[in-house]
Structure 1
């Protein structure tokens, strides 16, 4: 990854926070990669039947330890250890987004880091060390990613304005079916050029890079999407819940390149109909 002192975006009111978020990502990468694809990885089931690994726990511990040293007055929300503090500045952590991929040795997983102020994410970092990629943004400073030569480049959503040329991603058919919106998804797929269920954080980053025009999913928590929102919006996109609201706690997400957002919302609402189109 490019060294922080060589990055052109470290300016503006959130420069110090973004620099810290990148430092947190470095620490998280070191811990998570140290146990990735280990034959003796410790895995257990949570009460909700999802899995957690020793790496999830140790990665979040490492992030929290750094935050305690660097920002002791800030609050923290993490997937594995909950909430600490009640300050208006809150760091939001998903230590390993894509745990099921991680424990199977599939390299598509990420650490998600965000700084939220009064409930609005201002800084976001998504780090996928197993594939050597990282994305970051701070309000007013644009969205960026690393390059193969250890540099950085600014990213931007696509300017695709016709649904017939749009490529979209969803988490899974099962997820949309459980949420009661599968007919809407199926109808939308007939209106666009291409659809794929890529899953987790990566398609949002492809959206920010201009490679996709929509990503949407259900069953998400704040720590699943807080880091994604600033990157998408600073890249010129739009990030809402499925119902079009700006809430990060609505349990759903709908990210687009911006220009197609209202059209996609309209199609989904029409397909849902008056009885199944309630907010999720």
Structure 2
């Protein structure tokens, strides 16, 4: 277990490099990644820089970046989203992050989320807790749904978006009737970091890739969150739905999720 924690300084330095690039450089040219999705030149530049940096620092560990895919070992690998929330970043919105995790098998064991424009670095290693700027953090102790702030991931774009959004809209409707507020920040990493810090009470993402969630899952889990997939099983890197919730609200939020599923099924 101690070996996981030993990788944290390297991960922190990697995300620091990326965050500095985001603060000092422009996004550069934008390219389409499909329907209403973009990638910037800086996404690629950061990913290439961190791939090279981590290959030098940890040559026995593989790497998987969002933009250019895997290299090296697949059993133990760094998983990177160079800019989570690119759409926010290119418009000058500060709700964006660098998200880096160390994944062993199908489980994230180290995570760092850097929020370059919010002066926050979130870290965790399996068995060692979660921290924000070096201070231990835990999830909220909210027990009443009417007092909950819940983040919902972006609505779907691309093929079959209308069908995929039926569940998102139904879930939003269920939550809007019960929680204090719903938030949609545009960054899954930021949602999970703020859940870990007690700023949010749940972070619900209904479709995702490993690089979207890996670091946030270990940080949220080490802060005390329940992190499961859409079937109620323990979340891992094969999961495509992420439901991360402060413990006392797990049952009512899962009930809202299941009700949304029923509403969509009945409508078809």
Same fold (TM over 0.5): yes
User: Partners of 1:126 and 1:143 in 2: how far apart?
Assistant: 11
Give, in angstroms, the shift of residue 153 of structure 1: 1.1
Match of 2:130 among 143, 153, 166: 143
1:73/1:87 contact within 8 Å kept: no
Residue 90 in structure 1 maps to residue 77 in structure 2: yes
Give, in angstroms, the shift of residue 274 of structure 1: 7.8
Q: Provide the residue aligned with 2:166 in structure 1.
A: 180
1:179/1:218 contact within 8 Å kept: no
Residue 267 in structure 1 maps to residue 253 in structure 2: no
What are the within-5 Å matches in structure 2 for residues 125-204 of structure 1?
125-146=112-133, 152-172=134-154, 178-181=164-167, 182-200=169-187, 201-204=189-192
Could you give the per-residue CA deviations for residues 64-121 of structure 1, whole angstroms, max 9, x where no partner exists? 0111101112111110110112341111000011111111122221110000111100
User: Partners of 1:127 and 1:184 in 2: how far apart?
Assistant: 29
Count of residues in correspondence between the two structures: 259
2:95/2:186 contact within 8 Å kept: no
Give the secondary structure class of the aligned counterpart of 2:2: coil
2:107/2:236 contact within 8 Å kept: no
1:165/1:192 contact within 8 Å kept: yes
Structure 1: 5+ residue stretches without partners? 1-10, 147-151
Give the secondary structure class of the aligned counterpart of 2:117: helix
CA RMSD of aligned residues (A): 2.2
Give the secondary structure class of the aligned counterpart of 1:243: coil
User: Partners of 1:104 and 1:248 in 2: how far apart?
Assistant: 30
Give the secondary structure class of the aligned counterpart of 1:93: strand
1:241/1:248 contact within 8 Å kept: no
Q: Provide the residue aligned with 1:15 in structure 2.
A: 5
TM-score, length of structure 2 as denominator length: 0.89
Give the secondary structure class of the aligned counterpart of 1:112: strand
Give the secondary structure class of the aligned counterpart of 1:130: coil
- C-alpha change, 1:274 and 1:46, in structure 2 (3 Å) is closer
Q: Provide the residue aligned with 1:249 in structure 2.
A: 238
Give, in angstroms, the shift of residue 174 of structure 1: 5.9
Q: Provide the residue aligned with 1:124 in structure 2.
A: 111
Structure 2: 5+ residue stretches without partners? none
- C-alpha change, 1:14 and 1:264, in structure 2 (3 Å) is same
1:217/1:254 contact within 8 Å kept: yes
